Chain A
Amino acid sequence: MAISVKLDRILLDRGMSLTELSERVGVTIANLSILKTGKAKAIRFSTLEAICHELNCQPGDILFFDDEDNAVKAAE
């Protein structure tokens, strides 16, 4: 998927564990793991808002757009 999630990096920066974030945000560890490992197909605005609020960051600090297709085409 072109959108990647860098939750582990920001968690490391804030010194927060996934379990702690799960308790603060009110999302199960299983769901946060899905998000962290990049398996998630979608994220609710409410979840994103809660994560950004607890980690004191912007959505752009968590979500990144990897334009791999265009990069491959440019290389060709």
Chain B
Amino acid sequence: MRAIGKGSLASILAMGLNITRIILWLGFVGLSVALVVIPFASIVYGMFQGFQGGGALVESADYIEIAYQFASFGVMLFVVTRLLEVLKTLRFGSPFVKENADHFRTVGYALLIGEGAKIAFGLLSLITSADVEINTQPITWLAIITVFVLAEVFHEGARMKEEQDLTV
């Protein structure tokens, strides 16, 4: 399989990541609409239920779940965008540039923030009735460490490439 160009693994990955990015943006739009519409729907439904003596439709726990979804979608979108930037450098020549080391490092930090948010929202769900589980997996932490190791490898690779380019 070719390394770059049409039909290469990089181009297939880029296509997949672009589709993922569109889906994530749609998810963001959906969540934003939900955030605006839910209070009104709640008021209308609450009034309607009020006539029949029913309870409120939307609780604060629902907003916690939406906020959690916003955070996880944000992290995913950030990671996908950074990975697309990395693939772009592959298309334009060598991937061993300092920018890619920074991209991988920021991806690592974003994943850390994502896991932290997951735990924080999970803890918040304990005091509310929000449906967010604290189910952090060891493999996720291993993946985060792998990304940081990759960042270091790319950093050293970029330094070696620069040295090679400046060897006469």
Interface residues of chain A, those whose CB is within 8 Å of chain B, are 27, 31-32, 34-35, 39-44, 47
Contact = CB atoms under 8 A, between A and B. Distances in A.
Interface in B30-51: none
Contacts, number: 23
Contacts of B167: 40-44
B168 interface: yes
Given A41-B163, A42-B163, A47-B168, 6 more contacts: A32-B168, A34-B168, A40-B166, A41-B167, A42-B166, A43-B167
Contacts of B59: none
Contacts of A39: 166
B156 to A, nearest CB: 15
A68 to B, nearest CB: 20
Contacts of B133: none
A6 B11 CA distance: 47
A31 B166 CA distance: 8
